[in-house]
Amino acid sequence: MIQVFCTAPTISSSGKYYLFPLLEPFLQPAAIATDVAKTVNPQWKKHYTITADAATANVFILPMDIAWYLHTGQRQVVEEFIATAKQWQKPCWIFSGGDYGISWPDQYVQILRLSGTRSGNKGNQFVMPPFMPDPLCLAAERDIKLLDLPSKPTVGFCGQANGSQLARLKDYVRAAVKWIKQLQGNYLYDLQPFTSTTYQRYQVLQTLQQEQLVNANFLLFDQYKGGASSEEQQVQSRLRYYQNISNNAYTLCIRGAGNFSVRFYDCLASGRIPVLIDTDSMLPLENLIDWNAHILKVPAHKMTEAARLLIAFHQPFSLDQWQQLQLTNRHLWQEKLTYDGFFAHFHLLPPNQSFAHLYS
């Protein structure tokens, strides 16, 4: 059992979004505990418990998102917490949420985040999945629909992709503004590549659509969620999105504003196969999951060859292997990429080899 030490968090009706995710069921009042999946019989409680005794703790966890402290002028609170962890010679975990995340300069701390880059990781950053609703529950289905093996790979995509040069220019301007703000000391988050991700998506999708040996089933929109604004429009947008994933064996998954793809996890949850454009991406639990056995990973510098690589990936499958992979991907999401599943395994990933004995 891992003993977790943390200071009292600051929680309000909106503050729940800033809690370190592992701590939510322990610290979040019932009045704002809206996600039943995080409070009913969590597996990971077999592995973690809260302690008020720093001496007996195995790990220190900063209770709020690092951005919350920095935005509220409490950098010193963070530094003092880390210093205390060092004094007790305990690992220190911090959480950086949102699309971009923040790389804390002290490599003593272990950062849990949604996005990041492999080349920028100094060994102290770990990716967690976004915890989304089960698409089968939204579709009122109990099991995934197993697809037959098609002679040609069928790839889907439903989302924002824009081939407009004007939209591309606007994305470059927005990126430039962030770079200038950071040079002025007014931007806290990690900088992203100077590019247009919606235009990048459009380019890859066009490559796939033009390949005669690939069946492309794309629903492209100029705006996020097709510009859905009303509740009814958003419900229809979600259904259209999940149906596109379910109806296609493969789904193109490429980064958005941050260097990760929610679509990637929705695809696995649906028992489908992500075609991930690898933009120097980190994936969850990389020492526990053989990701190459579950997905097709296309290096970013070969994204124009995505169709050729998809065809080569698809050809060797037998029907049994094909349907088994669909079941395996669904099982992977259930066992390791849901809220309970991820934190039930995160303790098996030693953040620092010198503290490995604490996680046995």
Domain span at 282: 135-337
| Residue 156's CATH number | 3.40.50
Asked if residue 222 and residue 112 are part of one domain, the reply reads: no
pLDDT tens sequence across 66-109: 999 998 899 999 999 999 999 999 989 999 998 998 888 888 89
Asked if residue 272 and residue 208 are part of one domain, the reply reads: yes
Strands (E) across the chain are located at: 2-5, 48-51, 59-61, 92-96, 109-113, 125-127, 154-160, 215-221, 250-253, 273-278, 296-299
Asked if residue 147 and residue 189 are part of one domain, the reply reads: yes
CA 3/CA 59 separation, integer angstroms: 7
Mean pLDDT calculated for residue range 114-120? 91
Of 76 and 42, the one with more pLDDT = 76
Asked if residue 153 and residue 121 are part of one domain, the reply reads: no
Asked if residue 350 and residue 277 are part of one domain, the reply reads: no
Nearest residue to 158 (alpha-carbon basis) of 239, 235, 234, 214: 239
When divided into structural domains, the chain yields a total of 2
Of 138 and 110, the one with more pLDDT = 110
Asked if residue 172 and residue 23 are part of one domain, the reply reads: no
pLDDT at 355 over 60: no
CA-to-CA separations, 223 to 138, 160, 201, 228, in angstroms, rounded: 23, 6, 13, 9
Give, in degrees to the nearest 5, the angle at Cα 340 between 334 and 341: 45
pLDDT at 237 over 90: no
Asked if residue 124 and residue 15 are part of one domain, the reply reads: yes
Asked if residue 348 and residue 323 are part of one domain, the reply reads: no
The pTM for the full model equals: 0.90
Asked if residue 211 and residue 244 are part of one domain, the reply reads: yes
Asked if residue 284 and residue 174 are part of one domain, the reply reads: yes
Asked if residue 302 and residue 355 are part of one domain, the reply reads: no
Tokens of 154: 């069928």
Tokens of 184: 């002025």
CA 41/CA 331 separation, integer angstroms: 19
